[in-house]
Chains A and B, each alone.
Chain A
Amino acid sequence: MADMELMASIDIGAHSVRLLIAQVDTADGSYEILEDMEQPIPLGANVFNRGRISSQSILLMCEIFRNFRMKLDEYGVARYKAIATSAVREAANADIFIERLANASGLRVDIFEGVDNARLDYLTAVNSLPSKFGFYKRRTLLASLGTGACQLSFYDKGMIALTQTIRTGTLRILEQISETVSIPIPQLISPLVVRAFSELEHISDDLEADGLVMMGSSARALATISGKHKEETKALVLSRQEFHTLHAKLLRLSPPEIMRSYGISADLAEALIPCGVIARHLLNLTGVKNIAIPLTTTKDALLQDFIHDTLKKDDYFEPQILSLVARLAEKYHCNDEFSERTVLFAEKLFRKLEEIHGLSKKELLLLKIAAQLHKAGLFINNKSHHKHTYYLISSSEIAGLSGRQLLLAALVARYHRRSFPKTSHIEYMALLPAERSVVNKLASLLRLACGLAAACSPEARLGISISEDAVLLKPEYGTEALMDNNFIENDAAFFHYVFAKKIAFN
């Protein structure tokens, strides 16, 4: 008998809010959609114009959320993930808005950060691109064009190399010009697009790519009007020439004409012109030969991501995160053999000591990131380099990691040496108690791993076991220094402080 569970995802976008309810086979994560609901609501227009969500929209959204709640109760859905994207993220009254929704419906909404989108974009790309597109063989730019932001991720042979959020989108760009002219024309949009994307050139000197993948509702609308769109295709691939023909056709039509001719909504018809201009700019910037448009939506990817997360499967995006971490390590010159060894010891300690720390795979990832980057601060200065490490990590953008996760990783790295966490450390005290506990546990493991890495040769083998009051290390091979110099005495003190267990040798 299949073990089925109901899960739901809610996605608050700039134009609409969407609810998916799915029946998930917990054995393999496959799912069947039972409800797919969408309600239009102009949050983007509110926020990009006036900086906040209007009272009218809040009331309307509360009503929609009450209905969504009723729908979730109807099916008896207990697990859900509700997220809000750029429109809410940038609203001055985002917190009030989210609290009102929670009061009205009991549903908790998380703000989705731009970098979170990179996960979903990757999921969308791998699930929908045809193999002949060569995502795993060449350099690809994924551009997820929203109403308020454009998330760009460069992938080299399927591994992420660079990610950047550009603060422009189809609606934001129209709001920028709508005060001066009534009908947006491409000539007015183009300079705005060039300026918004110019920051890319400061970040990387290699913006060339072999393929461009455009995502987002306006890009899908572009696919719809291309006439090549078929129901069963997961992604539409247009050659450069085909795109230019389509774009030229679009420029000849006004939004009302687009609406009438292709039966798409007014919002999308308006978004098509900026979408076309941005796509053309990215084509020129990257020199790609073709452009692919996946036809599945964020809400599908969000649901898949949530299912993946709920079923505690290995994080499909972890290799990408580690790839970005490796690039950071390269940037800050800490991709050395010592750091690699520290990562290995940290992971080994984490796995062997699971029964005393009780942490999950998510925390292991933070430990690995902290272990890889713990020496990054040396790039700034040797003095207090652990503090430099803290701000370098916490100021970075790693796709797939939330700001909170990055902060935890930064603090773990910060406490790899010198002082233990103290009440006078503001960043540490700003954490929730559970988060502080995680930082303490991971930092103590990292500190021990650093000691082991310093004392042991790369080929070292070490057995680890746990007794009532101690963790027993059993040197097997390549651990002579450890035995002779008692290298890890200082590092073991933090471990003892956190777990109340000594480090002893068998």
Chain B
Amino acid sequence: MHMDNPRYINREMSWLEFNARVLDEAADEGTPLLERLKFIAIFSSNLDEFFMVRVAGINKQIESGATKFAHGYNPKKTLKMLDRRVRTLVSRQYRYLEEDIRPALADAGIVICAYSDLNPSQKDKLKKSFQKNIFPVLTPVAIDQSHPFPVIKNGAVELLVSLEPEQGGKERYAIIEVPEILPRFIPVENTGQRVVLLPVEALIAAHLEMLLPGCEIQECGMFRITRDMDISIDEESVADLLSEIQVEMQKKGRREVIRLELAKGLSPKARRWLEKKLDVTPQMIHGINGLLNLKRLLEITSLPGFANLRDQELPPLSSTQLDPEKSIFDNIRNEGAIVLHHPYESFTPVIRFLEEAANDPGVLAIKQTLYRVSGDSPIVRALIQAARNGKQVTVLIELRARFDEENNILWARELAEAGAHVVYGLAGLKVHCKALLVIRREPDGLRRYFHLSTGNYNDKTAKIYTDIGLFGCDKLLADDLSALFNVITGFAKPPAWRKLLVAPFNLKERLLFLIEREVSFSTKENPGHIIFKINSLIDSDIIDALYKAAKRHVRIDLIVRGICGINPYHIEKSAAARIRVLSIVDRFLEHSRIYYFSNNGTPDYYIGSADIMPRNLYSRIEILFPIDHDNIRTELDTIMKFALQDSRKGRRLTGPNRYSRTIKAAAQEKTHSQIRLYKFYQQKIAQRQEEAGETPDITVFRTPPSSIKPRLGTDKKDE
């Protein structure tokens, strides 16, 4: 791989390698078929986002004439490398799908067929369904001299239909958008054991004469465009961020095209016409040998039945630290600190915490940051309820949470209408930290309870993202959190933080200090140890500090799921050997961030929302919070140990931006960290039940036990 600066791996190339690891999950024969299909879809969804944001960003840099960007990489060269790698990966994706997964799925009873594969009765049945359900929502647009080229929606599958030329030989085309509200796959047959599905665009293509009556159809092909969706707003100069983002969202249909995916089958003439109309360069065109928009394969993964084609379910477990008979507040007060590890442990207590707070007469105020919430969020419902119950509710909604902008605008309005104090973030800083603070009047005075997390307040993603949440009522942390909310609501300037590490104020500086402190203690005989379990590592100052630490004998274990800019292969071998990099891509998205420093025998643990990327350290409000309780530290040790031992889904960095592959690692199942962790929490429950004597031996009395003597003359009614 070409490297402009071997000290750091290029961020975009590193991200692509992460997506390659996602794609490997689709190739892993030890993974059930529908899960493999899911990873095909995730790969596509990730890639779409990559084009919409990252590639769009590089294009803008090239347009602005920049010759260098982060870490000294040249944008043009980078774009070229990315393009090459994307094409390789996409062709690999279609190979996995078409050659392995689709045939295997068909054998297992899930068939994605072509229209030509259908028998006349099936076609007839589908025609009726088409007329009733699909035809009314389609809007074919014919393009000729009097009808301009229409606005093409970002990410939708489109049909390009070539019609008989007008008099004079001028080409005529029509475009039919496949609306996203339609199911992507139409069931042709479903017996429970066998499902036959037809892509909706194939059904539409088979009924073009109904859509374009009186036109002679010459050919029909599919295409899909991706637009630049990297919204940047000059926040300093806008008076109302909410309206500004709404305006930007309305503009999204007209943003620049950065990728054109063309399904095989269109004539060169039609292709040229389309390319000209869309104003795309050859580099932007991706020929696709198969279905477009594979992210919608997710619909197939959620088909009912076919349990044998899915991962064994791992339903969220209840926490052993929480007594369900008591209020969450009592639980927190009694335990001091309670940790929840999702999705192994249920997210329900977080919702319960808010619901209890909303209805507790002692609760005066609730403050929360919301970054991404689910569509019908119980979290937001509880906040609305709290506001209606007269609590002082302050919610910081990050309107700029990418791709969730519209959802967030909706909730912001509802909350404000209910009487909550809604704040839309700080100019120039995205609020990414996950914090919830409840102020409650109790008999012995006011007490502040909090929940801090590595992940969003989103009940849906809490079932698939691994995140760690901490409930507590520690005074110093509560002080810091109060101050943090004062900062993000614009009420006060940042104070001197007592326990929290807060970006962009002291987080990076403290991390550098903690690394440096490790260096200062470390000797050959008594080496220091740093473990980061994070999603991304790209900040050059931190990477440099880690290189320095490795050279001073500090052992460095990096469990980095996604982008990882460190390249130990450019430093001397002895130091490089001390840096181990591991990436876990598995059924649950690794999302929790843990920072461990051995500190010469008295270790420090931090968890939180921050990754080690410039955007996290400089342009977002992020927090890392210390973990002081021994039982929680032990749990974090287990999480990190299992991850580091994982050879089933853990890929090791083996060269510059090169990772080992696990598609043939089924024999390493016993090291599978996510499964081990689930079992670990199951065992905790069993142990707790055993301690509480909740599983007594079952004894069946065949005769009345001696302790029970029937009382003579007792009327049954009195019993």
Chain A residues engaging chain B, CB cutoff 8 angstroms: 1-2, 4, 6, 16, 19, 23, 25, 32-40, 64, 67-68, 70-71, 73-76
Contact = CB atoms under 8 A, between A and B. Distances in A.
Contact of A74 (B439, B444, B479, B490): B439
Contacts of B490: 67
A2 B445 contact: yes
Interface string B480-520: 00110010011111010000000000000000000000000
A23 B479 CA distance: 13
Main secondary structure of the interface of B (DSSP, over half): mixed
13 contacts: A2-B445, A23-B445, A32-B475, A34-B479, A37-B483, A37-B486, A37-B492, A67-B491, A71-B486, A74-B364, A74-B365, A74-B439, A76-B441
A314 to B, nearest CB: 25
Contacts of A64: 491
A74 B443 contact: no
A37 B483 CA distance: 7
Interface in B368-383: none
B249 interface: no
A475 to B, nearest CB: 53
A38 B365 contact: no
Interface in B452-497: 475, 479, 482-483, 486, 489-493, 495
Nearest to A35: B482
A38 B446 contact: no
B446 A6 contact: yes
Interface string B388-423: 000010100000000000000000000000000100
B482 A38 contact: no
Given A4-B445, A37-B483, A40-B493, 16 more contacts: A1-B444, A4-B444, A4-B446, A6-B446, A19-B492, A32-B445, A34-B448, A36-B479, A38-B492, A67-B490, A70-B392, A73-B392, A74-B364, A75-B364, A75-B365, A76-B364
B445 A70 contact: no
B649 to A, nearest CB: 44
A75 B492 contact: no
A55 B492 CA distance: 21
Given A4-B445, A34-B446, A39 B491 contact: yes
A229 to B, nearest CB: 12
A73 B490 CA distance: 17
Nearest to B391: A74
A74 B392 contact: yes
B423 to A, nearest CB: 11
A71 B445 contact: no
A71 B491 contact: yes
B505 to A, nearest CB: 11
A1 B445 CA distance: 9
Interface string B320-348: 00000000000000000000000000000
A2 B444 CA distance: 5
A78 to B, nearest CB: 13
A67 B490 CA distance: 9
Contacts of B443: 1
A396 to B, nearest CB: 40
Contact of B482 (A6, A25, A34, A40): A34
Contacts of B491: 37, 39, 64, 67-68, 70-71
A296 to B, nearest CB: 14
Contacts of B479: 33-34, 36
Nearest to A34: B446
A8 B495 CA distance: 18
A427 B394 CA distance: 51
B392 A39 contact: no
B71 to A, nearest CB: 26
A40 B494 CA distance: 11
B226 to A, nearest CB: 43
B492 A39 contact: yes
Interface in B562-583: none
